[in-house]
Amino acid sequence: MQKQLRGVFPILCTTFDDAGQVDYTSQARLVHYLLEQGAHGLGLFGNASEGYTLSTEERIALMRLIRREAGPHVPLIASSGHTGTDAAVALSKEMEDLGADGLMILPPYYLKTDGDGLLHYFGEISKAVSIPIMVQDAPLLTQVPLPVPLLARMAREIEQVQLVKVEAPPTAPKTSALHAAAGDSLTLFGGLNCQFFIEEYQRGARGQMPGSDLTRELVAIWNALESQNLPAAWSEFERILPLLRFELQPGLGVSAMKHNLVSEGIIASARVRHPTASLDAVSLAELRFLRERIRAGVAV
């Protein structure tokens, strides 16, 4: 039976030791921590996971560990896009075989293709798998535009295309347009670290994929929205907004998230893999200030 892909699905940071090797003990601890914080599911191997730095062997080992630690009932959405169609098909099948419940897929971005090429790429993946596909609409990263009519056509014509992660600014208007064009045939998720969480929800988004360090707070916002308590949602959002904003600095968010998780005693090291950037000493002091104010329950 298909699991419900709805709610707050943090993108799981991939944990490394100080030498840059995968730290599987910290990874297991982080899985349990996020679920204890109320995560409705987990996103794997996305940009906030530094999935672009992982070898095939590491990805397989991590997928097995995360599926085991999360248990059989937690939905997992694994990133399985590739620059080549055949490779994307093979990786998507492998992720499904290892226990993924959904696939988050970027369009090809090295050699870019046209609308027909994108329909072929996602169509070939769809024919090879039996789990839902989330199209990752992230033109700031890929430089590949995915217009609303094309995404709606994908939902109509490609069996497993059932979700879109809208990361094409301005995201709230695009969420509205896509919801109007595709209706219930597409489940819409927000990304970009939840910077327009509330607006996207009000316009039809039914999920968010943030980083790994503010799950409890973002779930509280989700619960407030689900219970139609908009003032409570805005109050909590405004409280954490300075940290969300800090983490949206290009290239620095993953390092910030890892330092926050180290400060909580969840992971052992804030190590990132090049070309992911590490925070410098001044940025670390700024991050510490924001983190401590949130812990104290004080709005910045």
Report pLDDT for 296: 82
CA–CA distance, 299 with 293 (Å, rounded to integer): 7
Report pLDDT for 214: 96
Say if residues 239 and 217 touch (Cβ distance below 8 Å). Answer: yes
Q: What rounded mean pLDDT belongs to the chain?
A: 96
User: Does the pLDDT of residue 160 top 90, yes or no?
Assistant: yes
What domains does the chain contain, in order, with CATH numbers?
7-212 (3.20.20.70)
**Can you list the pairs that 182-186 forms with residues at least 24 positions away whose Cβ atoms lie under 8 Å?**
182/151, 182/152, 182/155, 185/152, 185/155, 185/156, 186/151, 186/152, 186/155, 186/161, 186/162
Question: Phi-psi category of 244—alpha, beta or left, where left has phi over 0 and alpha has psi -120 to 50?
Answer: alpha
Question: Phi-psi category of 108—alpha, beta or left, where left has phi over 0 and alpha has psi -120 to 50?
Answer: beta
User: Does the pLDDT of residue 300 top 50, yes or no?
Assistant: no
Report pLDDT for 1: 67
Q: Locate the DSSP E strands across the chain.
A: 7-8, 42-44, 76-79, 102-105, 133-137, 161-166, 187-190, 207-208
**pLDDT tens-place string over residues 68-102:** 999 999 999 999 999 999 999 999 999 999 999 99
Report pLDDT for 298: 53
CA–CA distance, 82 with 59 (Å, rounded to integer): 14
